[in-house]
Amino acid sequence: MSAIAIAAVDDPAPAASAAFGMVYQPIVRLQDHRVIAHEALMRPVDGTSPLQLLDRARAEGALGELETRAVRAAADGYDFAGGGLLLVNLSAHAILGGTTRPQQVLEALQASGHDLRNFVVEITERDIVEDCAQLAHAIGYLRAAGVRVALDDFGNGHSNFELWHELSPEFVKIDRFLVQGLADSAGRLNILKALVQVADGFGTELIAEGVERVEDLRVLRDLGIPLVQGYLLGRPAATPSRDVPEAVRATAGDKLQVWPRNDRPSAFRRILAEHMLIEAPSIRDIATNHEAEILFRQNPQLTAIPVVDRHDLPVGLINRRAFNEHMAAPFARELLGRKPCTMHMNASPVLCDIRQSLDEMSQILLGEDQRYLYDGFVITDNGRYRGVGTGEALVRRVTELRIDAARYANPLTQLPGNIPITEHVRRLVETGQGFVACYCDLNHFKPYNDQYGYFLGDRMIQLVATTLLRHADPRWDFVGHVGGDDFVMLMQSDDWMRRSERVVGEFNAAALALFDPEDRARGVLEGEDRSGRYATFPLTTLTIGIVEVAPGERGGAEDIASSAARAKREAKRRGVPVHVLER
């Protein structure tokens, strides 16, 4: 049927009798790239938004009637001879709160004369369902007739886990918010990983909506999400399409895409300065030392008192210990009591706006002025005083989060750590992908670190990271940081040897800039060996040991890592920059 099926000729004022047509968007099974279903979508003939029409019908108390008409029109206009399921939208409000009941829905579907097992009713997300059990009971009548159920737009609106639990839908459609940009978002990826596990537990098939990019499609495939829908697969059309675009079919032979990674632990972004705020009294900059002493006495928990001007803008902090030492001197109270308290304040306190994240605040720890450790810091709101925070609390929270994050990303390079490395090896092995595991290690790094210090040592390690990333294909090649000067590359790029050789060549040339001219000229470092005796060491260079893992080869992450480390040791023994281990 090549023309939109028109449900009414005229469009009178009542929404229930508005004229609309139906279009059909394909749903594709990723396993074999076949169209296995279509979703029927309403399109008002006057060009207005379907949501506007539905809202008008709801306001007029005719939502159930309009939706039932749409169900009939969808069934009448669909080509069942081509095979596949038809998904029709129905609101919980229409079933429970309107004039429509399950029997009316069944009659609308039966009017098409087709097997009811070909229909899936999508429960839309726009209603708050106060009694999920009542909705599940009503849907039971549809299920008894063979109709299946889908939960629409999960992750947005009012679709939630309670509905999932109570309705036990055969399908759950993942909202486009979680799908679009998936290949670039570690947060979305983590949510979808969890949803896949939940769906497995419930025996539910997931349908990812809003798929528009091949990159997102690859990640959905790797996650094991079976069904996809979106413009990349096919746009809504009056004639149901059963052709899958060639660009989608071509992804069947793709390598395993590298998943996005977190640059910072998400908890850093969720904790703001406001969350660490301690409400504390301040003192005016015109107050005396005597008044400051009274304020300290009244607030024994305070380690410092903020000083503000007449506009409530912070101008300093008075440290309790330093203040008490000054005032405890002989005759100090008599001589200093009436003098301004500002004479004892730190006039350059650390200031944080309430909207600053813990990540931004963590930079305080890197500053040369360490007085925040005992003074704390002042928290402001658009420059005005709001409260204080303690240095102890800041250090504790940053340390805890960094320790936790270090399991997933190296704090220095922000590259994935041991857990993501192991997870990616497992994914490659389980999907039967062929790849190479590269173990990258610096030669003679300890003498360099001992002589030049940790700061330049860290720059050397960061240089390894940036060089590896520059030569890895971000789609297929995974770069991880085991720790110290040990790195891992898991490469699917066909030209992995050329890339590895370029990494070594580029790093060795760039690393020379981190040596003093005298050391560069000599070509060696002078220092002490492990026994404390004078020795010379070659300049720091990079070695890569490589092990090939054949397609379909089974093996654990530990075995593969051990083989790659053995290849690296053999490369160092032979004195070659790159060595491929024969297995």
CATH code, domain with 502: 3.30.70.270
Would you state the structure tokens that stand for residue 154, as one six-digit string? Answer: 């999960």
Which of these, 414, 423, 583, 580, lies nearest to 487 by C-alpha position?
A: 414
Answer whether residue 12 is part of any domain: no
Interhelix angle 320-327/289-298, rounded to 10 degrees, is 120
Residues 6 or more apart in contact with residue 311 via CB below 8 angstroms: 384
* Cα gap 446→426, rounded to integer Å: 32
Which of these, 224, 222, 247, 223, lies nearest to 234 by C-alpha position?
A: 247
Say yes or no: 303 and 450 in one domain: no
Say yes or no: 214 and 119 in one domain: yes
Say yes or no: 215 and 97 in one domain: yes
Say yes or no: 50 and 180 in one domain: yes
C-alpha distances (whole Å) from 226 to each of 30, 122, 206, 418 are: 6, 18, 6, 29
Helices marked H in 351-486? 358-361, 372-375, 391-406, 418-430, 445-452, 454-471
- The pLDDT assigned to 11 comes to 46
Say yes or no: 386 and 468 in one domain: no
- The pLDDT assigned to 117 comes to 94
pTM above 0.85, yes or no: no
Phi-psi label, residue 349: left if phi above 0, alpha if psi -120 to 50, beta otherwise: beta
Helices marked H in 272-337? 289-298, 320-327, 332-336
Residues 6 or more apart in contact with residue 108 via CB below 8 angstroms: 68, 71, 72, 75
Tell me which amino acid residue 214 is.
Answer: V
Say yes or no: 334 and 434 in one domain: no
Q: How many domains does the chain have?
A: 3
Q: What is the CATH number of the domain that holds 371?
A: 3.10.580.10
Tell me which amino acid residue 436 is.
Answer: V
Last residue of a domain, one of 338, 368, 399: 399
Give the three-state DSSP class for 174. Answer: strand
Which of these, 240, 226, 219, 189, lies nearest to 76 by C-alpha position?
A: 240
Answer whether residue 264 is part of any domain: no
Answer whether residue 293 is part of any domain: yes
Give the three-state DSSP class for 299. Answer: coil
- The pLDDT assigned to 179 comes to 96
- The pLDDT assigned to 527 comes to 75
Answer whether residue 7 is part of any domain: no
Last residue of a domain, one of 245, 261, 287: 245
Residues 6 or more apart in contact with residue 572 via CB below 8 angstroms: 441, 443, 543
DSSP structure class, residue 417 = -
Domain coverage including residue 429: 415-580
Classify residue 509 as exposed, middle or buried by CB count within 10 Å of its CB (0-12, 13-18, 19+): exposed
- The pLDDT assigned to 8 comes to 47
* Cα gap 111→77, rounded to integer Å: 12
Would you state the structure tokens that stand for residue 399, as one six-digit string? Answer: 């340390």
Say yes or no: 485 and 574 in one domain: yes
193-218 burial: b if 16+ Cβ within 10 Å, else e: eebbeebeeeebbbbbbbbebbbbbb
Which of these, 487, 477, 374, 363, lies nearest to 428 by C-alpha position?
A: 477
C-alpha distances (whole Å) from 120 to each of 82, 84, 184, 487 are: 17, 11, 32, 50
* Cα gap 85→90, rounded to integer Å: 16
DSSP structure class, residue 494 = T
30 phi, psi to nearest 5 deg: -70, -25
- The pLDDT assigned to 382 comes to 94
Q: What is the CATH number of the domain that holds 226?
A: 3.20.20.450
Say yes or no: 389 and 421 in one domain: no
Answer whether residue 136 is part of any domain: yes
Say yes or no: 452 and 560 in one domain: yes
Say yes or no: 357 and 499 in one domain: no
Instruction: Tell me the average confidence (pLDDT) per consecutive run of 10 residues in the chain, 583 residues long.
Output: 47 78 96 94 92 88 89 93 92 68 85 93 80 87 93 78 90 95 92 92 95 95 95 96 91 84 58 90 96 94 93 95 92 93 93 89 74 84 94 83 71 88 92 94 93 92 97 96 95 96 97 95 83 86 96 87 94 95 84
- The pLDDT assigned to 262 comes to 63
Answer whether residue 405 is part of any domain: no
Last residue of a domain, one of 369, 399, 429: 399
How far is residue 88 CA from its own chain's centroid? Answer: 32
* Cα gap 70→7, rounded to integer Å: 8
Answer whether residue 229 is part of any domain: yes
Residue carrying the six token digits 């969350």: 275
Residues 6 or more apart in contact with residue 114 via CB below 8 angstroms: 75, 80
* Cα gap 188→179, rounded to integer Å: 7
304-308 and 314-319 beta bridge pairing: antiparallel
Answer whether residue 404 is part of any domain: no
Give the three-state DSSP class for 371. Answer: coil
- The pLDDT assigned to 9 comes to 44
Say yes or no: 432 and 494 in one domain: yes
Residues 6 or more apart in contact with residue 453 via CB below 8 angstroms: none
3-state secondary structure labels for all residues of 112-155: CCCCHHHEEEEECCCCCCCCHHHHHHHHHHHHHCCCEEEEEEEC
Say yes or no: 223 and 292 in one domain: no
Would you state the structure tokens that stand for residue 131, as one six-digit string? Answer: 């009694």
Give the three-state DSSP class for 268. Answer: helix
